[in-house]
Amino acid sequence: MSSSSLLLDIQLLYNQFTKTEKKIADYVAENANAVLFMSITDLADACDVADASVHRFCRTVGVKGYQEFKMKLSLSLTAGETTERPGEERPEGTDSLSCMLDGILETHINALRETRTLLSVEAVERTVDMMEKAKRIYFFGIGDSLLTAQEARNKFLRIMNKVSCIGDPHMQAMSASMASSDDLIFIISYSGSTKDNVYVADIARQAGAKIVGITRFLKSPLTNYTDVLLTCGANEGPLEGGSMSVKMSQLYIIDILFQEYYRRNLAISRENNKKTSKAVVEKLY
């Protein structure tokens, strides 16, 4: 369809949909704002259909995939609807700079608090256990999540020499294919639905490597391959790529892992931290 509104396209195509597609269309029409913050698996579960059915629905309404579907859905809604997240009311006087400053602060704080609520002690302990046993630790990410992966590498490099971060998706796939049961791979992906991430996870799983996912959703294509799932608490709409709240919540998880690893391996971590700090101190005036 050539309409500028995805919701209008869905209405115009409705009588051509299959029974399953109508279930998806009805849910999207009634819960458009919520869908913006759902993974493809979340939407499939809400409609009681398979992930593949959602993929076919996206193709039927003229988009290439689920992420493009959410982007066009966001554009179909009014500006007020797209900026307001589920369960979030906009305070009065949001046009003032002071309110904007307070609003951004509250959004970031809420993201960190929600991340803490979602993180289980057991998941953190299992992750650090695997980090201690691993011979090599990789941090993988695509796009903005790569920045988090790089920061994780930079942080852990201060206390251990077995960490690396690979940015190129082809190099990630090659490294994953050469991994073993002694290796641990962190895959950082907000949606858990990025094709490159899922492809690398599949290769790593076949190679026998352990996989930790840092993502927003409990169910996504990526979570099918993870040994441990660490969930961040920030919502990000399809037009909000690179959300600072998402990065903060991801980095909060990285910092938790770092502090727990450091605590468990205090003597060697302190010694290595001194060595790495001394290595760069002479570069400062």
Per-residue pLDDT reduced to its tens digit, 102-125: 988 998 998 899 899 989 999 999
pLDDT of 76 reads 82
| Alpha carbon distances (Å) from 260 to 97, 132, 215 | 39, 11, 20
> Cβ(160)–Cβ(185) under 8 Å?
no
pLDDT, tens only, 141-181: 999 899 999 999 999 999 999 999 999 999 999 999 999 99
Q: What is the mean predicted confidence (pLDDT) over 267-271?
A: 96
Residues 27, 47 contacting (CB under 8 angstroms)? yes
Q: Which residues contact 193 (CB under 8 A, 6 or more apart)?
A: 39, 40, 66, 67, 220, 221, 222
Model pTM above 0.85: no
Q: How far apart are CA 283 and CA 285, in angstroms?
A: 7
